[in-house]
Structure 1
Amino acid sequence: MLGVITLFAAACASSPEPRVSEPAPAKAVVQPTSATPAVTGAAFRTEEVSVGRAPFLLKGTLTVPTGSGPFPGVVLVHGSGPHDRDESIGPNKPFKDIAEGLSSRGIAVLRYDKRTFQYGPQLTNFSIDDEVVVDAVAAVGVLKARPEIHPERVFVVGHSLGALLAPEIAVLAAPVAGAVLLAPPGRPPWDLVLAQLRYLEVPAEKLAEFEQTVGLLKAGKLGTGTLLGAPAAYWQDWASRDGVAMARKLQRPILIMRGARDYQVTDEDLTSWRSGLASVAQVEVVTVPENNHLFIKGTGKPGPAEYAVPGHVDEQVVEKLASFLLSKP
């Protein structure tokens, strides 16, 4: 979802959807840090790795704590759109921050370039499996096969669309130790798109066009038309993914986190996860004050402009992730 929902961010190049015009958002003041406070460079080493298979072999980076291990391991799963391994949004690199922060705390992390980033021009009519799931499952396999990784302590950590799909990926890649859902959407994707358009105060005429398109899409009458450049099949595929059901099926520890300033994934989304998993043991839900969708601190009304301001993932987010991952046997 990150690519679709941050489609409106000035710094985000989204695919398969083109950008749309938007009004200037209210100014947000981000509190950047000069360096990621959670990182200790000497505490880990970095290695280039490959994920998947031809014709879509992906480039990736593995950060491994210093020492002999075996270490717990994490696979980071991006939101939608053609993200690189750092999930770069303008000058911000949240996956790099998380990977190096966790590896500074004794956890190995694998992150990789998405198929839509590395092979975008070669892809047409791809599914959610093609975009995310297949490669994420392969990445879990890569991590489990490493001698310095404890194969029974591998976790799937997803962000945005990757968070929605993290339980499904974990089930398909079983056994895994658990999953972390960072800003998971809890509504159909077209409802998320319309909610963000309204939040951004898109002109009424433009909003009406989107509402009409969404109406056709929901009724199965969009035909060869598109929503934000993506065909009906893509949106229907996305809407069919039931993260809550997969989380119930996983039956492993789950941590769900959301930033209090996240206008893309809201309390409404979190409520659907809380209610859907109310009877499931080992589920923890955390809201992080002052954090936006990228888990970077800021103040004021949030908007896409702040993604162009340099910052780093909040240290308390990295600390919470590390505490959760290290506490599971």
Structure 2
Amino acid sequence: MSLRRASTLRHPFPPRSRRSRACSSGNSRLRAGQPERHLHPLSLAAAAAYRTWADLLGRDGIAVLRYDKRFLTYPSLDPLTLTQDDQVEDALAAVRYLASRPEVDPARVFILGHSEGAALAPVAAARGPVRAVIAVAATALAIDSLVVEQLRASEDVPPGMAEDVDGQFRALRDGTFPADGEILGAGAEYWRQFISYTQRADSIAEALGRPVLVVQGLADPYLPGGTLQRSLDRWRAASVRSAAVELRTYAGLDHSLYDTASGAPGAGVIRAAGEWMKAR
């Protein structure tokens, strides 16, 4: 299926400083686009963060293309048919679009992914002409086990829901889950691919053969209990095995790199990521 993706290209300022380019992918629910599309109820904080990141990177001379997930642009699409490979293809379409722009150096296109987008960014980079990857809040744990841990840690989840979802994921893994079944609003193939990519996130990054910067806030509520440490352990081990993988952690920053004390965005973190891109 050929689809047009709603997107926003943030040109760098001042124009003479266009030294590198970034394709920014989004979190588990929204890839941010134009201001009127920032009000998706599931991703207000993340969408505001993407807008801030694009502005900061633009001021540092980096053009940023942000785009919506296809189900936001096309609400009539059946969400149960969406797969992670569809979203990888959307990221590659963004890369191809950037590379086609006359003001963009096609050899200097990066992918910056957040949350779910961070898990998919190295996968997309392995399939396209991407110079390097920045993965923000990228888990190195299988997403099914992490989602269950998130549900168990949440005070807002109805009793028994975590166990019900755990049972659905176990059925998915052992092959007894219905092909047309649904888990938390997504279809079976979406979750199969998501599990595969997240449980191999560290090895996928290592095998990429291009620089991967993993950025993690240490006050991320979406990595409850011991999941944060387990994920960091895997990323640290990957950085030891491969000089191309680098892990940076930041105390007091949450899932979208906001300071949990002040509520301010982690501007210094994003600017540092921009400098990292410029150096490559």
Give percent identity, aligned residues only. 30
Which amino acid is the alignment partner of residue 137 of structure 1?
A: L
Q: TM-score, normalised by structure 1?
A: 0.73
CA distance in 2, matches of 1:162, 1:297: 21
Q: Does the 8 Å CA contact 2:119/2:201 hold for their aligned counterparts?
A: yes
Report the Cα offset of residue 157 of structure 1.
0.7
2:15 aligns to what SS in structure 1?
coil
**Does residue 135 of the first structure (1) align with residue 90 of the second (2)?**
yes
Report the Cα offset of residue 261 of structure 1.
0.6
What is aligned with 1:288? 250
Which amino acid is the alignment partner of residue 188 of structure 2?
A: A
Q: What is the aligned counterpart of 1:279 among 241, 246, 259?
A: 241
**Does residue 315 of the first structure (1) align with residue 270 of the second (2)?**
no
What is aligned with 1:58? 5
Report the Cα offset of residue 204 of structure 1.
4.3
**Does residue 81 of the first structure (1) align with residue 37 of the second (2)?**
no
What is aligned with 1:248? 206
Q: Does the 8 Å CA contact 1:184/1:270 hold for their aligned counterparts?
A: no
CA distance in 2, matches of 1:84, 1:324: 22
Counterparts of 1:153-164 in structure 2, within 5 Å, are 153-164=108-119
**Does residue 257 of the first structure (1) align with residue 215 of the second (2)?**
yes
Cα-to-partner distance string for 1:206-253 (whole Å, 9 max, x where unaligned): 333233223222222122443213232221121122333332232122
Q: What is the aligned counterpart of 1:267 among 229, 232, 235?
A: 229
Report the Cα offset of residue 151 of structure 1.
1.9
Q: Does the 8 Å CA contact 1:140/1:154 hold for their aligned counterparts?
A: yes
> 1 or 2, which has the higher helix percentage?
2
Q: TM-score, normalised by structure 2?
A: 0.85
Gap runs ≥5 in structure 2: none
After superposing the two structures, state which structure 1 stretch, 55-64 or 210-219, moved more. Answer: 210-219
What is aligned with 2:128? 173
Which amino acid is the alignment partner of residue 104 of structure 2?
A: I
Cα-to-partner distance string for 1:180-214 (whole Å, 9 max, x where unaligned): 01010111221111110121144543333233223
Q: What is the aligned counterpart of 1:182 among 133, 136, 150?
A: 136
2:108 aligns to what SS in structure 1?
strand
CA distance in 2, matches of 1:262, 1:272: 17
What is aligned with 1:193? 147
2:57 aligns to what SS in structure 1?
helix
Which amino acid is the alignment partner of residue 158 of structure 1?
A: G
The 1:138/1:291 distance shift into structure 2, 3 A limit, reads: same
What is aligned with 1:326? 278
CA distance in 2, matches of 1:121, 1:82: 16
Report the Cα offset of residue 139 of structure 1.
0.8
Report the Cα offset of residue 313 of structure 1.
2.6
> 1 or 2, which has the higher strand percentage?
1
CA distance in 1, matches of 2:31, 2:107: 28
What is aligned with 1:19? none
CA distance in 1, matches of 2:154, 2:18: 47
Report the Cα offset of residue 277 of structure 1.
4.1
Q: What is the aligned counterpart of 2:58 among 88, 97, 103?
A: 103
**Does residue 67 of the first structure (1) align with residue 9 of the second (2)?**
no
Report the Cα offset of residue 76 of structure 1.
0.4
CA distance in 1, matches of 2:172, 2:201: 21
After superposing the two structures, state which structure 1 stretch, 219-228 or 55-64, moved more. Answer: 219-228
The 1:312/1:58 distance shift into structure 2, 3 A limit, reads: farther
Q: Does the 8 Å CA contact 2:118/2:138 hold for their aligned counterparts?
A: yes
Q: Does the 8 Å CA contact 1:93/1:312 hold for their aligned counterparts?
A: no
RCO higher in 1 or 2 (8 Å CA, sep ≥ 6)?
1
